[in-house]
Structure 1
């Protein structure tokens, strides 16, 4: 398949701008797990993406990424996702989204999500209980069709934004569906 000029197959957004209140306000992106920051784990999981935008405060990374912040800050995952989408230089066919606090997600996870999304508007990883996590792929054109105006983004629930899309839930393999919301979650990984 030949893509139009300026278009790429897969770009991704890492959501790293939350308040982390249950982690005593720690910067989740800088929290270490197995000797590397949670942000480095997220960037590695998006190895197949031709471009990665991190919505959060800039920090050194081993792979080139673009940093941006939603305005106003702490607008939630919809504001972060759409701010990241707007910061992309390329026009993707599919857009990945990953919360920075999911260090067990890998590039294999995103390959499975892409496979599951064929013929659909996207696919999202679930946790062991079947709840949708912030790890997924979306048809970028379909996301653009359902995006609210700027004022409607702040504080909007992701489930509401995506409610009109044809999404498939993908069960986790092992612990890949677990996130780190508390210090206990980090310890238990």
Structure 2
């Protein structure tokens, strides 16, 4: 199946999608993007890490102001999970990217250097994802936009689909995390540990 290509969209290189629409149940439902770490919001840290991206889309039901201009969008219905968020974010890009970076907003130690390593590792593959010290894939990676278009499900199939199912047909490079790159903020204890 050939991916749909909108001829009106300008070609781009590397574009980013920040997933910030989770329920944050273990944080009492607080908006993770607005949590501060080292005087910056998690959303600003995620957006700043994508400094090399031509464009960034933030998928969230509500928006926290960012220092860098981004496009905010929400999947329909909201909170459809990472697959729905990723594909909604890709569809909202003004450019037709060659490579899409996707990251959860709660991974504040992902940096521009992380993205460069992921993009380098993706050469000759369909993408590359960060793996923690136990070898588990984290929600920080890059994907070839054409290959993503070839495996994307129809609209109904996007919601609540597990990300590993979407990515199963793709050849993905594993990029080992350096230091605390793979740490995510799921609980207040996680945040305290990062601050400590």
User: What TM-score, normalized to structure 1?
Assistant: 0.97
State the SS of the aligned residue for 1:104.
coil
Check the 8 A contact 2:17/2:56 in 1, yes or no.
yes
Q: Runs of 4+ in structure 1 displaced over 4 angstroms?
A: none
Aligned to 1:44: 48
Cα distance between partner residues in 1 of 2:44 and 2:66: 7
- Partner Cα separation in structure 2 for residue 41 and residue 102 of structure 1: 9
User: Which stretches in structure 2 are left out of the alignment for 5+ residues?
Assistant: 1-6
Aligned residue for 2:96? 91
Q: Counterparts of 2:95 and 2:21 in 1: how far apart (Å)?
A: 22
Equivalent residue number for residue 188 of structure 2: 183
- How do 1:54-65 and structure 2 match up within 5 A? 54-56=58-60, 57-65=62-70
- TM-score, normalised by the number of residues in structure 2: 0.93
Q: Matched residues in 1 for 2:85 and 2:55: separation? A: 16
The total of aligned residue pairs comes to 186
Quote the RMSD (CA, aligned, Å).
1.1
Correspondence for 1:114? 119
The alpha carbon displacement at 1:59 in A equals: 2.0
Alignment partner of 1:98: what SS?
strand
Structure 1 regions of 5+ residues with no counterpart? none
1:41-83 per-position Cα deviation (integer Å, ceiling 9, x unaligned): 0001100000000001222110000000011111000000000
The equivalent of 2:4 in structure 1 is none
2:32 to 22, 28, 49: 28
Structure-1 separation of matches of 2:83 and 2:93: 16
Q: State the match for 1:67 in structure 2.
A: 72
Q: Which residue of 2 aligns with 1:53?
A: 57
Measure the CA separation in 2 of the matches of 1:38 and 1:49: 18
Q: How far is 1:6 from its partner?
A: 1.8
Paired with 1:85 and 1:6, the residues of 2 have a C-alpha distance of: 13
